[in-house]
Structure 1
């Protein structure tokens, strides 16, 4: 008998969350013999529910919510010996993984278009002991993203991150980083580093045009800036996208990187899929084709 768990974040999707849940449950009932629904109440619930479903040998786990809830669902399954197929219905403001997988951003359309015969392997990123789906961002602009108000995200969607970032530009700081990339060390000076696993970052699908969800690689972009004028020249290139080095931006691919500050007394936190993460140093690596995902 086939079993599926649907994990729902009831605070996502506004007033329509309940109707979307009913539609999703009905859709899943057309594919699976048994559909279990659980609601999250606090951070960590989605990860715990997903892990329990894997331990109980469920065939699939689906998540309904924003990027944070989707990230939790994936984190709950990561590196387990048995990992159910994973699916999700987007209810967030940015929905980066949905964009990367070609899943409709309209929740009702995403539910109606679900076909459990469409499955592909998905790379997962790991930063220290945590997991990410899309991006680890480090530096001045990412620091400002850590401070984006949830109400601003609701009001402006993905633009909230860039509004906050541009406000921060006048206070741009430049850091000396020591990078160990697949065993090779280099020292750079930069205001901003982005490490992505998909082509969609912050809702912009052009930033890493060559990044695929299952290419077995992580993609690094960093500003080659030493002054505010350099930063201002790099930002437009970042938004239009890069798959090669330019005068303002460095681009490369790798499987594992360690990022640390040259000054051991300095402090800087990373941003992981839009949420504040660990302080440097961090080690980031890819888990290739680690999860089978519906698309």
Structure 2
């Protein structure tokens, strides 16, 4: 049988996300694959493991975890022939929604092994970082930057919600500028999407498509709590795009600049501080999609 490494994060969901090894092995064997467990030991290790699978010339590597783990694996597989098979094992696993996969890991693996390969384009920053889903700056990146690791690891979405309440009532929320398509906008929040979904099955940037190069930016030009709160709660219902001060545009490059230490995030993890430029790219990773 062909080896199928399963890269997994033992700390996903605070260690509560147990890999059903026997059941997954049975699914893999039905398609001619022998499942092998490859646990990560530290942040960034998934990239090394994925790169190793690529060097071995393996056709695919399964990745159990959340969007941060998928991002690491994509870096190791970037522009190679080894495909990534993401399995839902993280707090949110937004990529699973984007690919139209089941939230049940066994069914998600079965769907992919029975499916066909497709090239998923990656976004890039001017710092060489990649993103599968999106880059954003605003209250969300502030929440993630200030989120204690204990809350993220052991409380999951509940911890993020508690931190969100704290950040929304701080004295000052981020204010910065967004440049794209020859226009400069004042902003309190900006989501630059390489894919549609954000925070769950919520199409924050519905015009984005990871299967073609290009980005979509959604910018909240109004600043402060009175605009941030309805924007945030409007995303699950698609109402954020109809709110006053929201500008939406497609672009190959979007730059965010601001004064002070304004954090930004990539695929749900803090990634640095402004300024940063997000760019569409021809860089890609292969995925297997349901038939």
Please state which band the TM-score falls in when normalised by the shorter chain.
0.7 to 0.9
2:246 aligned residue (243, 246, 249): 249
Aligned residue for 2:257?
A: 260
Aligned residue for 1:197?
A: 194
- Give the 4+ runs in structure 1 shifted more than 6 A: none
The question of whether the paired residues in 1 share the 8 Å contact of 2:65 and 2:93 is answered with no
Is 1:278 equivalent to 2:272 in the alignment? yes
Aligned residue for 2:91?
A: 93
Is 1:164 equivalent to 2:158 in the alignment? no
1:212 aligned residue (209, 214, 217): 209
Q: Structure 1 pair 232/31, CA: closer, same or farther in 2 (3 Å)? A: closer
Alpha-carbon separation, structure 1, partners of 2:92 and 2:21: 20
Report the RMSD for the aligned CA atoms in angstroms. 2.8
The question of whether the paired residues in 1 share the 8 Å contact of 2:263 and 2:273 is answered with yes
The question of whether the paired residues in 2 share the 8 Å contact of 1:86 and 1:293 is answered with yes
Alpha-carbon separation, structure 1, partners of 2:225 and 2:11: 40
The question of whether the paired residues in 1 share the 8 Å contact of 2:94 and 2:200 is answered with yes
Alpha-carbon separation, structure 1, partners of 2:200 and 2:16: 23
Alpha-carbon separation, structure 2, partners of 1:159 and 1:118: 36
Deviation of 1:279 after TM superposition, in Å, equals 1.7
Q: Secondary structure at the match of 2:206?
A: coil
Alpha-carbon separation, structure 2, partners of 1:162 and 1:220: 24
Q: Structure 1 pair 211/166, CA: closer, same or farther in 2 (3 Å)? A: farther
Alpha-carbon separation, structure 1, partners of 2:174 and 2:63: 39
Deviation of 1:83 after TM superposition, in Å, equals 2.8
Deviation of 1:95 after TM superposition, in Å, equals 0.8
The question of whether the paired residues in 2 share the 8 Å contact of 1:207 and 1:240 is answered with no
| TM-score between both structures, scaled by the size of structure 2 | 0.85
The question of whether the paired residues in 2 share the 8 Å contact of 1:58 and 1:84 is answered with yes
